[in-house]
Structure formats: structure tokens, C-alpha cells
Chains A and B, each alone.
Chain A
Amino acid sequence: MSQEMTASAASAGLPATDLSPAERLHVAGLHTAGRHYTDAATDAVLSVRDLNVRFNTENGVVHAVRGIDFDLRAGKTLGIVGESGSGKSVTSMAILGLLPPTAEISGSVLLQGKELLGLNDKAMCQHRGNDIAMVFQDPLSSLTPVYTVGTQIIEALTVHNPTMSKQAKEARAVELLGMVGIPSPKDRLKAFPHEFSGGMRQRVMIAIAIANNPRVLIADEPTTALDVTIQAQVLEVLHTAQEETGAAVVMITHDLGVVAGMADDIMVMYAGKPVETGSVDDIYYNPRMPYTMGLLGAVPRVDVAEKSSLVPIEGIPPNLIHTPTGCSFAPRCPLASDACLQGEPELWPVPGGAPGGTTVGTTGGGLPHQAACIKTDSLGLEVDVREVFKAPAVPESRFDAIPRAERRTVLELRDVRKHFPLMKGALIKRRIGTVKAVDGLSFDIREGECFSIVGESGCGKTTTLLEIMEFHKDQDGEVVIGGLSNKQAADAKTKGAMRKELQMVFQDPTGALDPRFTVFEVLSEPLENAGMFKAQIRQRILELMELVGLQPDHVNRFPNQFSGGQRQRIGIARALAVNPKLVVLDEPVSALDVSVQAGVINLLDQLRAELGLSYLMVAHDLSVVRHISNRVAVMYLGKIVEIGDVDSVFDNPRHPYTRALLSAIPVPDPVQERTRERIILQGDLPSPLEAPKGCNFATRCPVFAALPPAKQEKCLTLEPELAAAPAPTDQQFACFYPDGELDEDMLVVHDTH
């Protein structure tokens, strides 16, 4: 239903499609110049009008949020999507009144018809946690460490229900913990936050937020800090929470996959302003603003094998100290023309678009499809986003034509192990157990291929990289890098030779670059180490800058003068300086925004083809892995459970863990997200002390849970070895019952729409 419909039309349930074109224009607000919303919808629980937030900083006034309007109805979900700095978190904090007093907020926020802006802290407390509640991003720091979980939940009840009895509050707290899926909730009330894992703490946060049955629940990046399997669990809990309370949900995220399945409406934000709004289907299937189109094209898909380059959005978001005079996206937009710089475009209804989420097949909750672009009309379904953004062609490597078996091996691991003793005691230490961080790893990487290791945090991915970089003859197991074995690496010379074969790119580009080194110094250091002369070094550095897509005349700048994506390019240039055969990539894009990430991934793809590089990549984002890798290994508790060609493993996963991992990844495709069946693993990674005896995964395995006890015995006593899947696929897995029936308790289908 549209916001401007008269009360009688709304009550009559008149679909907007039955309106005449003129009425529709009126509904869309075209008759009120500039502002498309005037009155709040009568049935909206939360109505935001022209919300503006300004911060006074030392550099001037930052206009962080510049005019947001939306209506949210009970039971509906609005997804606010945007990159860091787009103003999405500031918006939520402004609604809740949690911004510092120095922030200037104007506009209107109506919660069930009551104005929230301008209320003082005390008056606002009547609402916060009662009819409007929030879940924050980082569950590790969001709970007070010195109080028990029960105390913190009960506090939320006490604040708003002073007369509730102690027993009633405790009973309610137990009920809440049970609702968010914490096992034996009664005992866990007395636990402290540090006794909970990150996912469990986020569940507690949700329990606190829904304690008083809020009408509106705001979730600010609730799963960003969590592993994919845990993310799937927490999203499931949020879903249940919404069903239980009937609350309207505002879901703030940068991940287009996360909101695809959850949201009814989407608002895309850029530079503090909504640039496109509409029902989830409108936004995903018919984006009409170049930024939205770019954002959707920049996300790799975990479920698509077809190889195409990602859409890179060049440049960086504008600085909001200066009010944009034209379209704020124009400097990065490939379609920008002079007209785009003449005044900032307002949100206009998309021609033919739904005025209020009533288009056939859509599931919108009320936001009309609008876009802030003067070229909206020409950006229909027939426009190919890859052409618009000039996505590079898929690079071809000279190795692609050679069969894998005939290519040279650049890295080989044979039965590499790293066990850490677990000690106890202060003065006299005694060993109480072993952490098998890496437990018998064997794989090889051939020339020109990208090999990725995936798994949850704590599965041993990073330890594997460290073991390879360690390259010491006392290691348990053999590491062969470019024909050099660690068992012969007694002298520094072999190690030096190995470093020329293998280089590393780190996760956090800001932390990995010395802030006091210019780019020139960063890049010349490895070259000097390799014994190059000055003149050669200079030439090589200019070459490298061009290679990674940076301007060569920027070599005398310091890292802080570059954006995150550019810094990662510097990191890649540094790794490539000595012409290595193999580059180790440790989460190379996880610290970058989606639009920037696409550019770096394309660069990595291109470098691999042009220079004939091999990559060993560790990443938690399986979509990125699928996009860039040739082969993949899935690790669980220090062991490879499945390994093989990326398409065979992702399209036809055999090991239950791989199946669960893949199913946990949200796909940026609303229809698919709504209908697909997903496996929700129970619990967290077991602690190393409780590592199971037989198959490591048995404790969480959905197949194991569905097996008859007679068959379960085998999983509990024997350790499955890696065995090859039937030819011709290049795939191995370690499971006794691949493709087994899955336990129904762990399967979920969202068939809500």
C-alpha cells in the first residue's frame, strides 16, 4: 500500500494497480514537488520523514544522513543496504536516539504515531528496549562482561516492567533463551558472556532485544562478525524472533545475500542518501540506479559456475563535509554526463514500477520503486550491467589449455601436522591435551591455478599458511615449494630462494603496510633484498604500479593517502615485486567493501592469467572462492574433509560438512532464497579438548543424526580417510555415508511469502 493513499482507499484494500495513471502519479507523490512522502501511512509502526544527521567535526560539518523517508509496517522487513560510510548505522542510531548529543538531528521519526525526535534521554527510555529494540554488530563487546547473561536479560525486563515478580522475570528469561536456541537455558542464565561463543552471544543479544515484544527491531549488521554457518543460525533466530513478536524489522547490512531472503523492501543508500528504494524483487531483478546495478554485479555468486568478470565500481564515495552539488555517484558512474552534475537528483518513481509493492509476483511491504537517477528511464531490464561498467573480459591463462597433470607442481604439502600442547598450571606445567590445529594435510598446487582453503574460523586455515611460510626442517611433514623441500632448508640461502618463489598478501591492507614508508620504500625493500640495483629498482617499481592499476606518479605517497582497495593493490604489488611463482592470499578482500572488492578480485584474476601465477588462498567467503579458484579444499578441525575441482565440489558436494557450508551462504537472489532448503548446523565448532574420536564432524553432522544407531557406530569409532569420488571428477572426500539422508531437524525452508 502506498503512503499517500487516502485512508478510505487503504481500508477498502484497493490495489494500486487499479488506479488510473493520474492517480498513480498522485500516489507516487509527483504532485508534491520534491517530497514524495508527506503524511505517514496510517498503519505504519515506524515512519521516518526527511531524517538528517549532521556531525560537527574538526574538519567541518559532516552531513552523514541526508534525507531519509520510509514507512515500515508490522511484520515486514526493510533492508537498508550500503557500503561503509553510507550512513546506514547512523540512521539506526538516530532513530533510537543513541547518537552523541553533539549530533544534529532533524526530520521526523514516528513510532506508532508518536514523535521520537526531540525526546530527551529519559522520555526516550520509555521506548528503547520496550517498543523499539536493537541488535548490534559485534556480539563480543556488546554484553557487559561482569554480569551474568540472566542478569542482563532480566534487566531489560525490569526497566519496563517494574512490578513484575522475580519468578516471572526469571521464567521469561528462560523462555527467551530457549526461543533463541540456547540449550539448557535455565542453567545458562547464570553463565557469564565470556563463557559463550560469538554466535551464542548474538543469540543473547537477540533475546534481550525481543524481551519486551518490541514493535520494531533494528538489526545493525547482526551477522557480519560471525562465521557463515553461525550466520545461518543467527539469521534463523532473527526470523523466529520476528515471527514470535510480529515486529517490523530494519535489517542493516552491506551483504546483498543476507537481505535477499529476509527483506520485503530494500533501501539502497549511498553518501548518506537513499538512491533506490523498492520491493526486494524490484531491486534485485530490475535495478534502475547505476549504483544498485553495480553493487549487484560486484557480488560473486556461490551458486553459479559460469565464469564472468565482476563489475568493478571505480573510485571512492564522496566526502560528506562538502554537500554534493550534483549526483553524489556521478564521479564513479560510467554513465555520468554533464546533466548529472546539475543538482542532486531526488528519488523519482521508476516508470512502470510498483507504486507500493503491488506488482504481480513481488512481495513488497510498501516502498514504491523509486530511483535517484535522471537516466532511470533508459536503464531497463535489457541493459547489461557488465557493459555499462566496462567489466573486463575473462582473462585467459596460457596454462588453461594444458591438462592439470602435465603442469609443474609449485607447492606440495605431504602429511603436514601442527599440534599445540594444551598446558595447565602456573609454576609446574602439565599437558592436559593437544590442539590438532593442522592434522595430516596433503595437497599440491600446479602452475597457473588458484587453490583455496575454506572452513569456519578455528579450522586451521591460517595455521596451514603459517606452516608453509615457516619452512623449517624440524616441521612435522614436508613442504615443497618450487622444488625446494623444507627438509633441506638448513641454510638461509635455500630459504631466500624459497621466498622468491612464494610471497604473501595479507588480510588487512592497512595493518600490513608500514605507515611511515612511502609506496616506493614499501616496494623497493623486497627488491633490495633480492640484490637489485637502484636504477633497476626504480624501473621495476613503476612497472609494478602500472601492473596493479595504480598511477605510477603516486609512488611517493604514504599508505594513508590511499583508499582501502588501493592499499590492497599496493600489498599485491609488494608481493609480486620479486616475481614469485606462488602468491599466498590470506583473506585478500575480506576487509574491503563490495564495490572495491570486485576490482581487486578482477585484478587477481588478471594477474594470474598474465603472469602465470599460482595462488594459495584462504577465505571465509565461499562466493569469492568459487569465483576465483580452480580447486578448493574444505577444512574441518585441522583436516581436509573434501577437496577437488571447485565446480565439482560446489555443485556436487559429497561431504555433509561441505553441503552444510554451501547451504549456509545466502545468495543475492530473493526468489531462490525464499524457496531453497537450507541446512542449519547445530552448535559451534567443538573445543579441541572435546574433539570426537572417530569422524571429527560427527557431533554436528546432519547425516550422522539421521543414521540408525548401527551405522552411527562406524562414524564414532573409525576415522574416515580421503577417498576419490568416481572418475572423471577430480574430487576426494572423507565420509562413510556421502549423500546420506539429512536429519530433518536441521533442515529449514522459508516458505513465508
Chain B
Amino acid sequence: MLRYLAKRAATYAFMIFLTTTAGYFLAVNTLKPALLEQERIPRPTPEQVANSFRLKGLDPELSPWERYVEWLTAIVTRWDWGRSPNGAFINAEFGDRVWISTRLFLASIILTLIIGVALGVYTAARQYKASDRVITSYSYLVYIVPAPIAYFLVQLGAININETVGERIFFVTGISTPGLEGDGWAQFVDMLAHYAVPTFAITIVGWGAYQIAQRQYLLDNVNADFVRTARAKGLTRNQAISRHALRVSFIPVAQSIAFTIPAIFAGGFFAEKIFAWHGVGSWSIDAIALQDVNAATATLAYGSVIFAIGAILADFATTLVDPRVRVQ
């Protein structure tokens, strides 16, 4: 098993290297931070701009290949992912932003998975009954509603509550109240007040997909021959379904769950923008707007790593739940 994982990891490492290299060349050829510098007042001379960039390791006069070699050497020898045009260090910025994204998504993704799978099982057991129809219709609805619209609606709802109560219970943007004084309890309440709205929003639009998948896979197995065998042994229908059908139907779901988990650390563009949590997701888009070659490449590399971890976890999960899959 370990050998297999190591082999897969090596394959993915190679692929990540390729995508990152391709991404770097694309970025270095298209993103020209010098142009943005021209909009400053007072407008710097081209020599000033070039000097400033040279000091930050972003010398626009070097060829893309030379810059690539320099960039790669820095990463390999010093684990230094370079600097932004504004002088910030990618490494330092990165750690902060990953932590912000993680905090934003951790609770909501866990809730999404648990609620989605549980509701999937619940609705499959009550196929075509009122509760199944309501829940499954809801899932399809959130499937088609664009996420930003749902997030805005939740924000509006939270604001409405605040207005009705006449007190600010929920914060609809931001991570914490700046300059808040007080003991640990006050800090904690403040965090909850900031945390509740985005977590709620991400969760209620997220679980629909898992509910639909789990319901479908379970229904596929409810009338399977082996469930009939289990009933013939003397298990009631519900026992047979929960012991036999559920385990088999969970195989494909487990795979997609394993794939989703790393996404906790990857952040999301819409949620971070709308709730004003400045994590990795919003950074990756901002980097392009700010013509930031190093930040754009770093977020790309990070995304690839997250994807690779997801794929390996999915393989691992499959071998864990399905004995028919053998690792060679």
C-alpha cells in the first residue's frame, strides 16, 4: 500500500511540476506589472520601474527562460516562491491566506458531507414520500441556483434578522471585529458572529449534490439480489438495507468525499469575495488582476497539489471501503 501511494505521489509530483512550469511561462509572458506602475502618480520613469522590479526578482528585461531558471532555483534551493510587484513575499502571504481559507471552509465542508449523506440515506429509505420529494427538490434547486446568488440571499437574510432584532447579531462580512478588546469569551462570541453566516451559506448550497448522489446510489442497491439474500436470511427489510445496501452504495460516495476534503484548504473565490475573507481563492483571482506572476503561479501550484492529494485520498478511500479493489 505504501509503495503504491509513493508511486502515485511521484507521478503526481511530476504532473504538478509540468502544470506549474506551463503556468509560469504563461504568466510571465502575459502578466506585465510594469504597465500598472505607469498609472501611479507621480508616474515613475521606466528606469525606476525596472530597478524596483529587478530588486524584487521580477526583472522584465530578462528572457522568460532566464526568469524561470532563477525562479525555479530559488524554490529548489531556498523554498522561496518570490515576491509580488508590491514587494510582499509570497511565502509569508501564502501561510496567512491558507489559514483564512481553511477557517472559512472547514466547518461548512464537514457539515455539507454529513448532512448530505445522511439526508441521502433518509430520502432513499422514503422514496417518493413527501419528505423525499421536498428534500430532493430542494437539492436540485440549489444545484441550479448560482452560488453567489445564494450567498447574497443568506447575507440579506442575516441583515434582516439584525434589523428585526435591532441589534447586530451576525456579521455578514469580515473575519473579526478589528480592535476588539475583551477576554477570551468576548473573542469567541465575536468569532461565532462572523463565522455563522458564511458557514451557513456554504453548507446549505453544498449538501445538495451529496444528497442526490447518496440517494441515487442507495436506491440502485435497495433491490439488489444480495439485499434479497440478506432478507432471506431473516433480516428485516430495513436491516438488510442498512447493513448490506448502504455499505455498497457508499463506495462511490466515499470516493467523492475523499476528493472534496482537500478543498477545505483551497478556498473558494465567490465565498471569500462576498464574505470578505481574504483567502487563497480570492488571492488567485486578484493576482491576475494585479499582474502578479509569482502569486498566480504559486496559487496554481497549490491548486494542483490539492487536486493530487484529493485523487490519492480518493484511491485510498476506495481500497478502504471496497475489498474488490486490490492494490498492486
Whether A133 is near chain B, meaning CB under 8 Å from some CB there, is: yes
Sample of 9 more A-B contacts, CB < 8 Å, known A98-B231, A125-B234, A144-B248: A125-B236, A129-B234, A141-B225, A146-B248, A147-B244, A155-B233, A209-B232, A424-B328, A426-B328
- Cβ-defined contact, A129 with B324, below 8 A: no
Q: Which parts of A111-136 form the interface with B (CB within 8 Å)?
A: 121-122, 125-130, 133-134, 136
Decide yes or no whether B220 CB sits under 8 A from chain A: no
Return B12 CB to nearest CB of chain A, in Å.
13
Give Cα A122 to B240, complex, Å.
12
Taken together as a complex, chains A and B put the C-alpha atoms of A717 and B236 apart, in Å, by 56
Q: Which of B230, B232, B328 contacts A144 (CB 8 A)?
A: B230
Q: How long is the Cα–Cα vector from A127 to B236 in the complex, in angstroms?
A: 11
Known contacts A146-B247, A192-B324, A424-B328; decide if A128 and B225 are in contact (CB<8 Å).
no
B228 within 8 Å of A (CB atoms): yes
Q: Which of A54-98 contact B (CB under 8 A)?
A: 96, 98
* Cβ A194 vs Cβ B324 within 8 A: yes
- B226/A134 in contact, CB under 8 A: no
Closest to A156 in B: B233
A-B contact pairs, 19 of them (CB 8 A): A98-B231, A122-B236, A125-B234, A125-B236, A129-B232, A129-B235, A141-B225, A145-B248, A145-B322, A146-B248, A146-B251, A147-B244, A147-B247, A155-B233, A156-B233, A156-B234, A192-B323, A192-B324, A194-B324
A129, A141, A194: the one within 8 Å of B233 (CB):
A129
**Total A-B residue pairs with C-beta atoms closer than 8 Å?**
81
Closest to B8 in A: A426
List the interface of chain B (C-beta within 8 A of A). 11, 224-226, 228-237, 243-244, 247-248, 251, 321-324, 328
B233 touches A205 (CB 8 A): no
From A133, A148, A426, B232 is in contact (CB under 8 Å) with: A133
* CA of A144 to CA of B225, assembled, Å: 9
Indicate the member of B224, B237, B251 with the most A CB atoms within 10 Å.
B237
- CB A475 to nearest CB in B, in angstroms, measures 32
CA distance A159 to B224 in the complex (A): 20
Beta-carbon contact of A125 and B322 below 8 Å = no
A159 engages B235 (CB within 8 Å): yes
Closest Cβ–Cβ distance, residue A719 to chain B (whole Å): 32
Bound Cα distance from A142 to B240, whole angstroms: 13
Q: Could you tell me the dominant secondary structure of chain A's interface residues?
A: loop
- Residue in chain B with minimal CB distance to A148: B323
One digit per residue, 1 when the CB lies within 8 angstroms of any chain B CB and 0 when it does not, for chain A 144-179 equals: 111110000001100110000000000000000000
Residue A43 lies at the interface, judged by CB distance under 8 Å to chain B: no
CB neighbours (8 Å) of A145 from chain B are: 226, 248, 322-324
On whether the beta carbons of A146 and B322 are closer than 8 Å, the reply is: yes
> By the criterion CB–CB under 8 Å, are B230 and A96 in contact?
no
8 Å CB contact of A141 from B226, B243, B244: B226
Would B324 and A126 count as touching, CB distance under 8 A? no
**A695 in the interface, Cβ–Cβ < 8 Å?**
no
Most buried by A among B233, B243, B328: B233
Distance between Cα atoms of A136 and B237 in the complex (Å): 17
Chain A residue numbers with a CB within 8 Å of B226 are 141-145
Q: Counting CB contacts under 8 A, is A577 at the interface?
A: no
**CB of B211 to closest CB in A, whole Å:** 22
Contact of A144 with B228 at beta-carbon distance under 8 Å, contacts A128-B233, A130-B234 already known: no
A211, chain B: closest CB distance, angstroms? 8
Question: For the complex, is A587 an interface residue (Cβ under 8 Å from B)?
Answer: no
CB distance from A179 to the nearest CB of B (A): 17
CA distance A85 to B323 in the complex (A): 37
Can you name the residue of chain B whose Cβ is closest to the Cβ of A192? B323
Alpha-carbon gap, A134 to B230, bound state (A): 11
**Cβ–Cβ contact B236 & A136, under 8 A:** no
Q: With both chains docked as a complex, state the minimum distance between the C-beta of B271 and any C-beta of chain A, in angstroms.
A: 36
Select the residue from B230, B237, B321 with max chain A CB neighbours within 10 A: B230
Most buried by B among A96, A156, A424: A156
Task: Using CB atoms, name the residue of chain A closest to B231.
Answer: A98
- Which residue of B is nearest A425, CB measured? B328
Instruction: Say whether A208 faces chain B, with CB atoms less than 8 Å apart.
Output: yes
Q: Does A159 contact B225, Cβ atoms closer than 8 Å?
A: no
A333 CB to nearest chain B CB (Å): 36
User: Which chain B residue lies CB-closest to A205?
Assistant: B229
Contact of A146 among B228, B233, B234, B321 (CB under 8 A): B321
Write the nearest CB–CB distance from B15 to chain A, whole angstroms.
12
Say whether A138 faces chain B, with CB atoms less than 8 Å apart.
yes
Chain A residue at minimum C-beta to C-beta distance from B230: A144
- If the complex has contacts A192-B323, A192-B324, are A144 and B244 also in contact, measured as CB distance less than 8 A? yes
Residue contact A128 to B234, C-beta cutoff 8 Å: yes
Query: Within 8 Å CB of B229, what residues of A?
Result: 136, 142-144, 205, 208
Report the Cα distance A341→B7, complex, angstroms. 75
Q: Is the pair B228, A142 in contact by a Cβ cutoff of 8 Å? A: yes
Residue among A144, A159, A209, A427 with the most chain B CB within 10 A?
Answer: A144
- CB-CB under 8 A from B234, the residues of chain A are 125-130, 156, 159-160
With a cutoff of 8 Å between Cβ atoms, the chain A residues found around residue B324 in the complex are 145-146, 192, 194
Q: Tell me the bound Cα distance from A643 to B11 in angstroms.
A: 53
What A residues does B248 contact at CB under 8 A? 144-146
- In the bound complex, what is the Cα–Cα distance between A233 and B250 (angstroms)? 36
User: In the bound complex, what is the Cα–Cα distance between A156 and B251 (angstroms)?
Assistant: 24
Q: B247 — which chain A residues lie within 8 A by C-beta? A: 144, 146-147
